[in-house]
Amino acid sequence: QVQLVESGGGSVQAGGSLRLSCAASGYTGSRYYMAWFRQAPGKPREWVATIYTGGGSTCSGDSVQDRFTISQDNAKNTLYLQINSLKPEDTAMYYCAADSRFKRLCRLTGADFNYWGQGTQVTVST
């Protein structure tokens, strides 16, 4: 059973940066699609970025690709999301997700992932 635990969220002022982490355990293989999603109050869940752990290929959403960077540390089984130039509209619960099924990298939905973390809250103030 894959387990995902996010950390690194917090309350920051606009313009600041955060690095979110997602510690993964319980893998039965070395090749997974891992992604970050976010959900703001009253809004649908939004895909943010994906990385394929087998080769490191990534894809990020058009609205965040200039400020968000997804990365991995295979030795630590940890996924990261570096968020720069934070804006109030980035306020949301951020979730990491994992799945081993073959899929495209971009514009994914929650249905593409079987495993989810509990989320970490990011709050950006002006």
Instruction: Check whether 65 has a pLDDT greater than 90.
Output: no
> Which of these ranges, 3-7, 19-23, 62-66, 84-88, has the smallest mean pLDDT?
62-66
Give pLDDT, residue 22: 97
Query: Of 120, 110, 32, 113, whose CA–CA distance to 81 is shortest?
Result: 120
For residues 55-74, average pLDDT: 93
Contact 91, 120 (CB under 8 A): no
How does the average pLDDT of the chain come out, rounded?
Answer: 95
Instruction: Check whether 74 has a pLDDT greater than 90.
Output: no
Instruction: Check whether 81 has a pLDDT greater than 80.
Output: yes
Between CA 17 and CA 19 the distance in angstroms is 7
For residues 49-59, average pLDDT: 94
Confidence of residue 63 (pLDDT cuts 50, 70, 90): confident
For residues 85-109, average pLDDT: 95
**Sheet with 3-7: strands ordered across:** 3-7, 18-25, 78-83, 68-73
* Count of CB atoms situated within 10 Å of the CB of 22: 25
* Count of CB atoms situated within 10 Å of the CB of 117: 22
Give pLDDT, residue 14: 98
Give pLDDT, residue 27: 79
